[in-house]
């Protein structure tokens, strides 16, 4: 185990003196080299579907910062596009989708086997990265969780409270669950293809899990994650899975046991001491520095980084942010964070 990559060692349950580190959205607009490459691509979707350029922006933060992992550059909404919905991005406002809100809409979605027609460039990006990444850097693939992806498919855009998805769930549960089932199946196929192309770890991003409560959280956050993880483990038993039910609060406790994921990623709203006592006891945790520190920097960044490393030092831990880095972040603050993690004793 000591010869394995640091991320893989943490995911296997090893406690390390210095935790491995990577950062959600580490390839992004805060880096001038990313902005130059995106301009070369023309637009965001063109960048996602250009394997050479997508690989380039994935590699940029590895070259600059020396992270222990690279995460595939793509977008969670490529799956609904591959299922047949129209997808476009409005500058300054974010993604837009044609919607799937009726039984007829769901029936018109493409069969999951057809998603490869659209997503094959993504697999090519993974293949390029598996060859070009430094040998000590782990390659992470990812997909959006079914609930989170479905919220965009139902609303046609991001919403503050995922209200349209909740409304469909409450008014036409059969259609809602049929949509979720289709996305779940497509996610298994998509992540399997990423693993076949060279991904060593996969992560399931449930960015809007926090708006689900009680039985709905169990049915639409936990159950799909369990189904996806079980299917992947049956095919690829040695490939770790990271789950990220952002905003889950106390429901983070037990999430690893109930879903089978190897690691639970924590948002910045979770107290590290509480998470060490209630989540890390079941295995590896990832997180959870507030992304705002990448903007403000200074002594607060150092102190909070040290506090997180200290809190999780008794078990397997991957240092990360509690959510993705923002475009207004300062790369110098990222370097300071990494230095703080790696020098802490």
With beta carbons less than 8 A apart as the criterion, state whether 322 and 266 touch.
Answer: yes
The residue ranges of DSSP E strands in 102-183, in sequence order, are 138-144
- Cβ of 285: how many Cβ atoms within 10 Å? 29
Strand order in the sheet with 69-71: 69-71, 138-144, 201-206, 241-245, 263-265, 284-289, 317-321
Catalytic residues: 25, 29, 38, 75, 152
> Residue 289 belongs to what H/E stretch?
strand 284-289
Residues 162 and 103 sit within 8 Å (Cβ to Cβ): no
Encoded tokens for 150: 């479905």
CA of residue 200 relative to chain centroid, distance:
14
Pairing, β 201-206 against β 138-144: parallel
The DSSP symbol for 21 reads: B
Q: Round to whole Å and give the CA distance between 187 and 169.
A: 20
């Amino acid at each position: 185990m000591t010869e394995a990559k640091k991320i893989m060692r943490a995911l296997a349950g090893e406690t390390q003196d210095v935790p491995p580190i990577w950062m959600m959205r580490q390839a992004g607009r805060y880096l001038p080299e990313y902005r130059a490459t995106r301009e070369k691509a023309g637009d965001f979707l063109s960048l996602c579907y250009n394997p050479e350029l997508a690989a380039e922006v994935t590699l940029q933060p590895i070259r600059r910062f020396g992270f222990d992992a690279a995460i595939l550059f793509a977008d969670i909404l490529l799956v609904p596009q591959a299922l047949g919905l129209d997808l476009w991005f409005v500058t300054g406002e974010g993604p837009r989708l044609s919607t799937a809100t009726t039984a007829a809409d769901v029936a018109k979605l493409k069969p999951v086997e057809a998603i490869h027609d659209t997503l094959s460039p993504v697999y090519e990006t993974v293949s390029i990265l598996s060859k070009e990444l430094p040998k000590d850097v782990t390659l992470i693939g990812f997909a959006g969780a079914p609930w989170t992806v479905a919220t965009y498919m139902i609303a046609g855009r991001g919403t503050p409270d995922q209200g349209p998805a909740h409304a469909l769930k409450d008014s036409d549960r059969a259609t809602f669950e049929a949509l979720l089932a289709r996305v779940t199946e497509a996610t298994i196929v998509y992540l399997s293809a990423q693993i076949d192309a060279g991904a060593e770890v996969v992560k399931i991003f449930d960015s809007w899990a926090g708006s689900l409560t009680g039985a709905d959280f169990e049915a639409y956050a936990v159950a799909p994650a369990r189904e996806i993880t079980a299917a992947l483990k049956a095919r690829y038993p040695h490939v770790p899975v990271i789950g990220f039910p952002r905003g889950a609060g106390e429901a983070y406790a037990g999430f690893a046991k109930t879903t089978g994921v190897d690691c639970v990623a924590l948002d910045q709203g979770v107290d590290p001491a509480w998470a060490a006592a209630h989540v890390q006891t079941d295995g590896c945790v990832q997180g959870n520095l507030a992304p705002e520190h990448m903007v403000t920097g200074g002594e607060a960044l150092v102190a909070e980084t040290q506090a997180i490393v200290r809190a999780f030092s008794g078990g397997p831990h991957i240092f990360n942010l509690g959510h993705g880095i923002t475009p207004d972040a300062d790369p110098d603050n990222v370097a300071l964070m990494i230095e703080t993690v790696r020098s802490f004793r």
